[in-house]
């Protein structure tokens, strides 16, 4: 139940030639306080309810619990979420021994492109593609809960 991930800005669209899968994601927050975010998500044809704890000092690790729910239930829960629903397309790219998830944001966050890589342990090494830019791990400005309230278009 511990999520370990690093997050990066993406510098080019070369990843679009490398992706394995893509899914539209719509998500909202029932609670966006840093100590515990409660997220509702529709990814493709599936719904999810996710609870995340506060990140550790490095921003690399935090508790995460996720459960698949009926997509109709997710649609209903999205109706009562805090304002600022996120709409994005997620591309999954196999690179080295890892999967890199690239999120291309739409709507009020259009123009923002972030990559995440999940790791087994905090100091795990991994291959970095040339389109992976500045690391923003631990920078709360790039958390989806923050972006939902402070859209990229206003930065």
Note the pLDDT tens digit of each residue in 104-141: 999 999 999 999 999 999 999 999 999 999 999 999 99
Q: How far apart are the first and last CA of the chain?
A: 33
- Three-state DSSP class for residue 12: coil
Among 25, 55, 26, 38, which residue's Cα sits nearest to residue 140? 55
Q: Which residues pair with 4 in a beta bridge?
A: 61
For 42-55, what is the mean pLDDT? Answer: 96
Q: Is the pLDDT of residue 20 over 90?
A: yes
Q: Which pLDDT does position 102 carry in this prediction? A: 98
Residue 144: other Cβ atoms inside 10 A? 22
Confidence of residue 14 (pLDDT cuts 50, 70, 90): very high
Please tell me the pTM assigned to this model: 0.94
- Three-state DSSP class for residue 145: helix
Q: What is the mean pLDDT of the chain?
A: 96
Separation of alpha carbons 33 and 14, rounded Å: 35
Q: Is the pLDDT of residue 13 over 90?
A: yes
- The domain tally of the chain equals 1
Give the domain extent around 93. 2-154
Separation of alpha carbons 75 and 8, rounded Å: 30
29 assigned to active site? yes
Q: Is the pLDDT of residue 9 over 90?
A: yes
For 76-90, what is the mean pLDDT? Answer: 97
CATH number of the domain where residue 146 is located = 2.40.320.10
Confidence of residue 1 (pLDDT cuts 50, 70, 90): confident
Q: Is the pLDDT of residue 59 over 90?
A: no
- Three-state DSSP class for residue 106: coil
Among 122, 118, 114, which residue's Cα sits nearest to residue 143? 114
Separation of alpha carbons 38 and 8, rounded Å: 23
Number of H helices, E strands in the chain: 2, 9
Q: Is the pLDDT of residue 38 over 90?
A: yes
Max CA distance (Å), the chain: 41
Q: Which pLDDT does position 149 carry in this prediction? A: 95
């Amino acid at each position: 139940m511990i999520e370990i991930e690093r997050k990066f800005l993406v510098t080019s669209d070369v990843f679009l030639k490398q992706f394995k899968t893509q899914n539209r994601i719509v998500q909202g927050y029932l609670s966006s306080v840093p100590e515990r975010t409660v997220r509702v998500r529709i990814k493709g044809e599936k719904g999810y309810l996710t609870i995340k704890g506060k990140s550790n000092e490095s921003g690399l690790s935090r508790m995460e619990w996720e459960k698949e729910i009926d997509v109709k239930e997710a649609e209903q829960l999205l109706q009562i979420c805090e304002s600022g629903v996120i709409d994005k397309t997620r591309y999954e790219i196999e690179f080295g021994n890892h999967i890199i998830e690239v999120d291309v944001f739409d709507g009020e966050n259009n123009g923002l492109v972030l990559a995440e890589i999940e790791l087994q342990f905090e100091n795990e090494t991994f291959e970095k593609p040339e389109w992976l830019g500045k690391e923003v791990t631990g920078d709360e400005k790039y958390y989806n809960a923050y972006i939902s309230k402070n859209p990229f278009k206003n930065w």
